[in-house]
Chains A and B, each alone.
Chain A
Amino acid sequence: MSALLEAIDLKKQYSMAGQTVHALRGINLTIDAGDYVAVMGPSGSGKSTFMNILGCLDTPSGGQYLLDGEEVGRLPEQSRAKIRNGKLGFVFQSFHLLPTHTALENVELPLTYAPVAARERRERAMRHLAAVGLADRAHHRPAELSGGQQQRVAIARSLVNDPRILLADEPTGALDQATGEEIMALFQSLNDEGRTVVLVTHDRGVAEHAKRRIAFRDGQVMEDSAA
């Protein structure tokens, strides 16, 4: 397997109330294409900062972040937006669907910034909605969908641009046990199809689904099941 994602001595510090906080103290990691990784750790361990840097939402203070062999950590905002749009897919704990838009339009959203022609946008969004079993809910608004359905719309949205990595932040955190299991099964099948998945979770049960577990503590990797 080839390295899809590589963190080399990745550091992040920021000042808060006059004090320098070391969120990441030199992370060295490699994630291969097709891997399924659970990132764990208590709050303040640096796992969220790590995920934000992986998601090109934040920039590291030191070290390198290579995606597909390309250094992307220090790219200007406009270029990082392009990478988020083309290579990354996000799934959030609170779904983050636009309430005024239908399920289909929510799924289309990343493609409007690609840009992709309206017709193709619609077809691709519809295909991904069907893949998560919500073809018949395409024209419903989020308020008319259950939590599980909403998260599935969000997953369809994260996949519509065919990303290299799917980043999920506590994807089952807002769902009940049974619905959470369904969502985890969906991630499992996506990984089975070859999709690289990185998810952040507190939940050991959720983490059990992953092939590899990485535990963070005090800005460092404490444990890596692959190591």
Chain B
Amino acid sequence: MTMALRTALRALWLHRLRSILTMTGIAVGIAAVILMVAIGTATQKQVIDQIQNLGANVMMVVAGQRTGPGGVRLSGDTNVLLTEDDAVAIRAQLPSVREVGATWWGSGQAINGNRNSWSRMHGITAGFMEVRAWPAVSGRLITDEDNAAVAKVALLGQTVVKRLFEPGEDPVGQVIRLRNVPFQVIGVLASKGQSTQGWDQDDVVYVPLATARMRLNNKPAPQIQSASAIAGKKRFDGSGKTGFQKVEQVKANPSVVFAGAVNSIMIQAHDAGSLRTTTDEVRELLRQRHRLMPGEPDDFDIRNLSEVAEARAASARILTALLVGIAALSLLIAGIGIMNIMLVSVTERTAEIGLRLAVGAGRRDILSQFLIEAAALALVSGLLGVLLGFGGVLAVDAATQIAPRIDPLTALGAFLGAGLIGVTFGLYPAWQASRLDPIVALRRV
């Protein structure tokens, strides 16, 4: 066996250039497989992280555009199309919905002593953090009681904490000013990092929805409408006007902010399977609540965030499979290279094979000799390929944000795979060698 291996290595060494060229093909193929698996795994992990970051089975309803008489589309800012009542109704009436959080979007300056930060300042209902699966690392989250009391309490993202406080300082319990209104910090959120769109999700201050509307509104002072509009369930008030008519009234005067207005409603379904039906149910409910006639377009948009993320994950998976497939194809080509070189080797060494048969080598001895040679060629290339692949992974890690990881199992698999390729593609030439007629073979010099 050692003799056979030595013979094999000697034969390969004799034709150094040829061996090296063949080996390069396999090494590059193996390296490509390792690199592509590493990149693919890393990309998929990124997408999965993003999905988990978003919260599971989540969709978002945002106010859309309302088409006025004559088909003129009106800006979302000038009408109130989505209300807190809608959120309450979705939560109360749709069994497939697990949790709902309404949001009022704003932004402004936050100040703590001589430090400040210009950040997004969003009003939220208690369900929002639940839907986003976003815990506090210290303090507590915003509750229904905070909303009911229109409490001046704030929940800070990590980036805001870094801007407003000294390192190591505990923000919980401290008072900061948001748009010049003092708020007490009740909690600090866990870091979420970049969003799928690339903005810093931690550069944010959350306050109760009711408080945001009252205290942090960009628009002129809100003109609060009747209490029943806030309470929600009832669509008719003392004035005898329907809620819909009231919305119409608000639209007529853009400077008036309707008390129940929200920018978006985050909805979490119970499971991924029901996401699509939940979307239909939400659409149905909102159209009904907004008194939209059949054929009239929606005045809201439902964005299925999980679906978008899933699609992204699926495309990442497909891309990975494609890349690994191409890499595997290059291995196939490398394997054909081995076969080619082994066929040449067998032809060149016909006389040697004849002699070996004459001095007593069996067919099996010849077969294994050439198989060992092919396997040795492939395994040495496999080793080179693994090293090359590791180098590639390190280079990609250094040059990009993909952060591929070296998987020892993949490396081992690729190495053994190379050996298998050698044996597989060496089989036919070796078999040919073993079938040679010694008399004919010996005539070759």
- A139 interface hit (Cβ, 8 Å): no
Return the CB mask of B357-390 against A: 1 if under 8 Å, else 0.
1111111110000000000000000000000000
- The stretch of A80-88, A189-197, A201-209 in contact with B is A80-88
Query: Is A112 an interface position by the 8 A CB rule?
Result: yes
CB of A81 within 8 A of CB of B361, answer: yes
Bound-state CA distance A78–B2 (Å) is: 23
Q: Which of B356, B363, B365, B438 has the most CB of A within 10 A?
A: B438
Complex alpha-carbon distance, A85 and B352, angstroms: 16
Which of A77, A86, A96 is close to B355, meaning CB atoms less than 8 Å apart? A96
The answer to whether A84 touches B352, judged by C-beta atoms less than 8 angstroms apart, is no
How many angstroms from the CA of A34 to the CA of B7 in the assembled complex? 36
**Chain B residues near A157 (CB-CB < 8 A):** 359
Digitize B334-355: 1 where CB-to-A-CB distance is under 8 Å, 0 elsewhere.
0000000000000000011011
List the one stretch of A3-11, A51-59, A60-68 in contact with chain B. A51-59
Q: Is B227 an interface residue (CB 8 A)?
A: no
**Which residue of B356, B363, B442 is within 8 Å of A109 (Cβ)?**
B356
In the A-B complex, the 7 residue pairs with the closest CB atoms: A85-B360, A110-B359, A96-B355, A113-B360, A81-B362, A84-B360, A94-B445
**What are the residues of chain A within 8 A of B10 when measuring CB–CB?**
100-101
CA distance A100 to B354 in the complex (A): 16
B3 at the interface (CB under 8 A from A): yes
Quick check: B360 and A82 within 8 Å, CB to CB?
Answer: yes
Residue numbers in B under 8 Å from A58 (CB-CB): 439
- Cβ A110 vs Cβ B360 within 8 A: yes
Q: Is the CB of A84 within 8 A of B445?
A: no
12 contacts between A and B (CB under 8 A): A77-B363, A78-B363, A81-B357, A82-B360, A84-B359, A85-B360, A94-B445, A96-B358, A100-B7, A109-B355, A109-B356, A118-B3
B360 touches A55 (CB 8 A): no
Q: Are B359 and A85 in contact (CB under 8 A)?
A: yes
Q: Does B11 count as interface, using CB distance less than 8 angstroms?
A: yes
Assembled-state Cα–Cα distance A8/B101 (Å): 104
Smallest Cβ-Cβ distance to B443: which chain A residue? A94
Q: Which residue of A lies closest to B363 (CB)?
A: A77
Shortest CB-to-CB span from B356 to chain A, Å, is: 7
Q: Are A100 and B358 in contact (CB under 8 A)?
A: no
Q: Which residue of B is nearest A92, CB measured?
A: B442
Q: Which A-chain residue is minimally distant from B365 (CB atoms)?
A: A113
How many angstroms between the C-alpha atoms of A187 and B356 in the bound complex? 23
- A157 to B364 Cα, complex, angstroms: 22
Contact A90 B359 (CB under 8 A): yes
Task: Please name all residues of chain B whose beta carbon is closer than 8 Å to the beta carbon of A77 when the two chains form the complex.
Answer: 362-363
Known: A84-B360, A109-B359, A157-B359. 7 other contacts (CB 8 A): A57-B438, A84-B358, A85-B361, A92-B355, A100-B7, A109-B355, A110-B360
Whole-angstrom distance between the Cβ of A96 and the nearest chain B Cβ: 4
In the bound assembly, the distance between CA atoms of A124 and B355 in angstroms comes to 20
Cα A112 to Cα B360 in complex, Å, equals 9
**How many Å from the CB of B180 to the closest CB on chain A?**
90
- A98, B352: Cβ atoms closer than 8 Å: yes
In the assembled complex, A222 has its CB within 8 A of some CB on chain B: no
| Contacting residues, chain A, for B364 (C-beta < 8 A) | 78
A residues in contact (CB < 8 Å) with B: 52, 55, 57-58, 77-78, 81-82, 84-86, 90, 92, 94, 96, 98, 100-101, 109-110, 112-114, 118, 157, 161
A113 nearest CB neighbor, chain B only: B360
Interface range, B side? 20 to 34
Q: What separation, in Å, do the CA atoms of A81 and B364 have in the docked complex?
A: 11
Q: Which of B14, B361, B438, B442 contacts A100, CB < 8 Å?
A: B14
Contacts of B362 in A (CB 8 A): 77-78, 81-82, 113
Chain A residues with CB below 8 A from B363, complex form: 77-78, 81
* Chain A residues with CB below 8 A from B7, complex form: 100-101
Closest chain-A Cβ to B405's Cβ sits at a distance in Å of: 44
User: Cα distance A207–B363 when bound, in Å?
Assistant: 35
Contacts of A114 in B (CB 8 A): 360
| B445 cross-chain contacts in A, Cβ below 8 A | 94
Q: Given A57-B438, A57-B439, A58-B439, do A90 and B11 touch, yes or no (CB 8 Å)?
A: no
Task: Report which of A82, A90, A101 forms a contact with B358, defined as CB distance below 8 A.
Answer: A90
Chain A contacts for B361, CB-based, 8 A: 81, 85, 113
Which of B11, B351, B360, B365 contacts A96 (CB under 8 A)? B351
**A81 / chain B contacts, CB cutoff of 8 Å:** 357, 360-363
Give the CA-CA distance A15 to B43 in the complex, in Å: 67
CB proximity of A151 to chain B, nearest CB, Å? 14
Of chain A, the residue at the smallest CB distance from B6 is A105
A225 to B365, CA, bound (A): 41
A93: nearest chain-B partner, CB-CB:
B445
A84: chain B residues at CB < 8 Å are 357-360
Which single residue of chain B is at the shortest CB-CB distance from A90?
B358
Residues of B within 8 A of A118 (CB): 2-3
CB nearest neighbor in B for A83: B360
Chain A nearest CB, measured from B354 CB (Å): 7
The residues of B that contact A112 with a CB separation of less than 8 Å are: 3
Q: Are A55 and B355 in contact (CB under 8 A)?
A: no
**CB-based nearest A residue for B358:** A90
Flag if A52 contacts B351 (CB, 8 Å). no
Q: Which residues of B contact A113 (CB under 8 A)?
A: 356, 359-362, 365
- Given the complex, which residues of B lie within 8 Å of A52, measured CB to CB? 439
Q: How far is the CA of A81 from the CA of B11 in the complex (A)?
A: 24
Closest residue to A112 on the B side, CB-wise?
B3
Closest-CB distance, B435 to chain A (whole angstroms):
10
- Considering only residues 1-54 of chain B, those with a C-beta below 8 Å from chain A are 2-3, 7, 10-11, 14
Instruction: Give a binary string over B128-163; 1 marks a CB under 8 Å from any A CB, 0 the rest.
Output: 000000000000000000000000000000000000
A57 partner residues in chain B, CB cutoff 8 A? 357-358, 438-439, 442
